[in-house]
Structures are given as structure tokens and as C-alpha cells.
Structure 1
């Protein structure tokens, strides 16, 4: 695994999250087709870039695209 591959995988995940749906980890994993290791690295990349957010609903975590608007 390298940073380039993690970035490419993060792009795949971001494309799926772009539909404004709140995804469970298992739904996302099945849709994107990545291993746990690769998916976790991609999620970490997107979280570090503040592109995604998380919510817990009924004990289940959900991931979704985070939209940041800066007015300056």
C-alpha cells in the first residue's frame, strides 16, 4: 500500500458518498469492493481532509459527505 493508492481509494469512496446518503461501513465496503485495510485507510484520508463526517444511530455508525462552506 502506498499514499497514491490510498488517495485513489479515497476518491472511490468519496464518489459513493457524493449522493448524500448515510452509509454504514458494511454497505460502503460492499459497494466499493475494497478490503477492510484499504477502506479504513481511505476513510482515514477523507476524515483527515475533513471531507466526511460520522453519526451514530441506534448503535450503528454511519458515514456521510461533509460539506464545509467558508465565507471570507
Structure 2
């Protein structure tokens, strides 16, 4: 989980606001994997969902 969450975090850090589908495409990951990583990051208070797009806090 940690490595996927790290990839998602780094991608959001570079690209800014992205949807789950955009993250899945950029990272070549299943949407389920992306959502799992986003959930982990959200529990750690590292990301937030605004207007359908994820961003770093």
C-alpha cells in the first residue's frame, strides 16, 4: 500500500488536481488500487477531494 500511496502522492505533487481516472491512467494502475491509495492518504490527512478532483493538502 505504501508504495502505491507514494506514487499517487508524487503524481498529485507534480500534476496538481486529478480525478481517480486520470491518476489510474497516468500511473498505469487499476482504479481500485488508486482508490485504495487515496483512501490511505485521506486517512493520513494528506489529500482532499474538491469538485471531483483529488489534491494534496
TM-score of the superposed pair, with normalisation by structure 1: 0.72
The total of aligned residue pairs comes to 57
Higher helix share: 2
In structure 2, the gaps of 5 or more residues are none
TM-score of the superposed pair, with normalisation by structure 2: 0.89
Runs of 4+ in structure 1 displaced over 6 angstroms? none
In structure 1, the gaps of 5 or more residues are 1-5, 67-72
Larger relative contact order (Cα-Cα within 8 Å, sequence gap ≥ 6): 2
Higher strand share: 1
Structure with max Cα Rg: 1
Give the alignment's Cα RMSD to 1 decimal.
1.2
